[in-house]
Amino acid sequence: MNTLEPIQENTKAAIDPAIAQTHNALFDTWFPIEQLPIPPAIAPDIAKLATEVSAGMLQAFSQSGFFVVLIGLTDPSKLPFYAELKLSQNPAVQAFLKATGGYGGLDKSDRQPLFSYLFDGELAAVTAQLAMQIREAYLSGIWDLPLAVPITEIQAPQVFVQNPEIYAKRHAPVIPPSRLRYDCATKTIQHQDGAIDYLVIGSGPGGAAVCHELQKAGKRVVLIEKGPFVVWGSMDTRSYSRLMFRNDQASTINNSVIFRSGETMGGSSTVNIDLAFSPLSGTIQSRIGQWISNGLLDAEAYSSEKIAAAYQRVRQDIGTREVTQDELNRDNLALWNGAKKYGIDPSLYHLNRFPTGLSPSPVDDKLDAARQLLLTAIQDATNPLSVICDATVDQIQFTTQSDGKTVQATGVSLTLNTPWTDYGNTVVDPSNLQIPSGTTVSIAANNVILAAGTIGTTRILLNTAKNTPAIANSRIGKGLILHPSFPLIGVFDQTINLLEGLDSATFVEAFGPTPGFIYETMGGLPAYGALLVPGNGQDVYRAVSQFNQCAGFGTMLVDTPSDDNFVTLDDQGNVVVQYNLSEADKQRFRAGIAIGIRMMFLAGAKQVIIPSNENFLNQENFDPMVGVTLTDMAQADLVEQNLEFIPNRTLLTAAHLQATNKIGLSPDRGVVSPNQRVWNVLTGEEIPNLYVMDSSIFPTSVGANPMQSIYTFAYIFCDRLLQGLSQKATLASTSAR
């Protein structure tokens, strides 16, 4: 449970001066401008910018759920652990409780010790999450571009084209007249040409590939997407928070892992870097082979030859290309050179990108699922793919036969969201339905294919299970795979300029099949880098102000499925993600991180920064608010011995969510059958026309970035579907197999 949930306040109220004072004190804690070594020539300018940034952050906080944090720190009696704090003998805690205005009235000398206590005191199990939430909120805001650009001397990236509204009008897709009609009397959407063959939910790699293949085969297809339809090329959609689940502020319930998931046309293929790991790589092939041997995949359909043929089609349709050696910037070379000196072979990525300098857009070079697969289908005048965007699917609808157990999907109910139009660069209501936002309607179809991703599909199935006992499968959401990544920052004595050139081009998969970890080049803006630096505001400033001398790569764990890790819904229907590393996974992860540290030093780094304020060097009188950096390769051994991955002490990231609705041989072992049909838990048979085609069906981790595997699996799935996937799996037949 989030430690702040018990606080109930009106976050829209006017800002109380005492709360503003608390905010100012927190801003000063994480950006103590009077103590920072800012060059005197620019100090007045930075001070002015800092004041403006602070005011903007407070205004933003006042309109968000984070405002309850400021309320609790201003009036400690409203903190859920106030009674326990009163029992503490810690001097900083007592000063905090007695100060008028709470943290805002606290003497500066007590501020850092209070955070040290919150992170590492006797109540750390509940207080560390509060401390980390505050740290993340302030550092990400402080080190956003207005302050980061002049301090780090980076070139601010261009997210939007000049005049995005005009660009969007000029480059918006020409969509044929809509074939869909909305009946406001019955609140139903219908297709004017007859019954809808396939209703596809979600436009990410799985959904886009399914729509592309089925529409090309002449089927009547309707696509529903929760997010907006951005005109391609009008903006750099990578890492833009509005296009992601919870505005890119999503984390597991205990804040142990920060994760990313796309919510826009094209899904995660639109917002992620989209590193294209071939499904023919040794790491992924070892997993697929295991699934086949366990009877979870059809051996003929998923033979290496069939996968190679399907992947070749994917590469042609998406435009996947292999990076060349001369494209590597100094950031990519850190992993490349470090791996070579360690004695293992690095590899060059395949990327779903235009070659450098050849994109028709001045700001975007992504070859995402929306552009490469959906646009052609949408613009086909003879049989257009119909699209409903800005719409959340609530539940799947069914008919039930006389036995009360056998069901068949008939369609879905959905609610229209308020479109995102801030920059005028989105296609609003492409099917011209003119349904008011907030309206819940129904749409019928002969078949329903869920492709909303590990979060979206799980949410729909869990919601539907509340009213449909046939799919109330206890396996829904269980066994979540996150592929947690542990970022490493190397500080060099030369200029790296990681923002120049390709943001990621190298990887190492020598340890992928076993013991199960991969290294990937990674980068990010200063706001992301600041979160990775342990210690106080001065420590963060010293590290981030050297941004142009830093390189980064991450150790990504191929984690093991466990029922203790899952996606579920709270009482209000909101998605909750529960995740913790097992002891065995921790041991493997530590080994991989230690090798990564050694490779970073071998690449020439003078210091290595790891995102943890745990006592990983086993120091006496350790203080979590005093940053510790590694200065010697031998310290990798200490990290391997002492790192515990304590939630809210060590930061992990993830973008490869998988395996919550696994293929299984029976309803008690999986959510979908080997035919990818959802199991009916009452009859032990498949629901004949309800399918899932996204990363949630993988029985275990696929072993690497799953994007290309999802595309490939979707092509094979459609081939089988179009050829007559008529063989029904039953509990008896799958058990026999």
Whether pLDDT at 725 is above 90: no
Q: What is the mean pLDDT of residues 312-322?
A: 95
Contact 436, 677 (CB under 8 A): no
482 has pLDDT over 90 = yes
Is the pLDDT at 736 greater than 60? The verdict is no
Whole-prediction pTM: 0.94
Least confident of 4-8, 49-53, 326-330: 4-8
Closest C-alpha among 99, 111, 158 to residue 138: 111
Q: pLDDT above 90 covers what percent of the chain? A: 91
For residue 611, pLDDT beyond 50: yes
Band of the pLDDT at 520, cuts 50, 70, 90? very high
State pLDDT tens for residues 143-186: 999 999 999 999 988 999 999 999 999 999 999 999 999 999 99
Give 395-441 pLDDT, tens digit per residue. 999 999 999 999 999 999 999 999 999 999 999 999 999 999 999 99
Identify the CA nearest to 637 among candidates 650, 622, 618.
618
Confidence of residue 522 (pLDDT cuts 50, 70, 90): confident
E strand or H helix at 183: strand 180-183
- Of the chain, the percentage scoring pLDDT greater than 70 comes to 97
In this predicted structure, the answer to whether residue 733 has a pLDDT above a threshold of 50 is: no
Per-residue confidence at 51, pLDDT binned at 50, 70, 90?
Answer: very high
Q: What is the mean pLDDT of the chain?
A: 94
Distance of CA 151 to the CA centre of its chain: 29
* Helix (H/G/I), strand (E/B), else coil: 399: strand
* Calculated CA dihedral for residues 309, 312, 313, 318, nearest 10 degrees: 160
Q: How far is the CA of 667 from the CAs of 2, 180, 182, 451, in angstroms?
A: 32, 36, 37, 20
Taking a C-beta distance cutoff of 8 angstroms, is the pair 282, 509 a contact? yes
Distance CA 393, CA 412 (A): 7
Under the banding of pLDDT at 50, 70 and 90, the label for residue 357 is confident
Q: Hey, which residues does 489 pair with through a beta bridge?
A: 552, 609
Q: What is the pLDDT of residues 191-204, one digit of tens each?
A: 999 999 999 999 99
pLDDT of residue 682: 98
Mean pLDDT for 472-481 is: 98
Predicted confidence band of residue 729 (pLDDT cuts 50, 70, 90): low
Q: What would the mean pLDDT of 488-509 be, rounded to a whole number?
A: 93
Q: Distance between CA atoms of 496 and 514, rounded to whole angstroms?
A: 32
The mean per-residue pLDDT over the stretch 31-50 comes to 97
At 731 the pLDDT is 45
**pLDDT of the residue at 728:** 59
Distance of alpha carbon 190 from the chain centroid = 34
Confidence of residue 726 (pLDDT cuts 50, 70, 90): low
Q: What is the pLDDT of residues 612-629, one digit of tens each?
A: 999 999 999 999 999 999
Average pLDDT over residues 568-596: 97
When pLDDT is cut at 50, 70 and 90, the band that residue 239 belongs to is confident
The pLDDT score that the predictor gives to residue 9 is 41
- Name the pLDDT band for 340 (thresholds 50, 70, 90): very high
Q: Residue 389 has what DSSP assignment? A: -
pLDDT per residue over 454-470, tens digit each?
A: 999 999 999 999 999 99
Is pLDDT of 730 > 80? no
* pLDDT 10s digits, 245-278: 999 889 999 999 999 999 999 999 999 877 788 9
3-class SS at 482? coil
Kindly state the average pLDDT of the residues 332-355.
Answer: 95
Residue extents of the structural domains in the chain = 17-142, 485-654
Q: What is the pLDDT of residue 727?
A: 56
DSSP code for 366 = B
Residues with Cβ within 8 Å of residue 289, at least 6 apart in sequence:
none
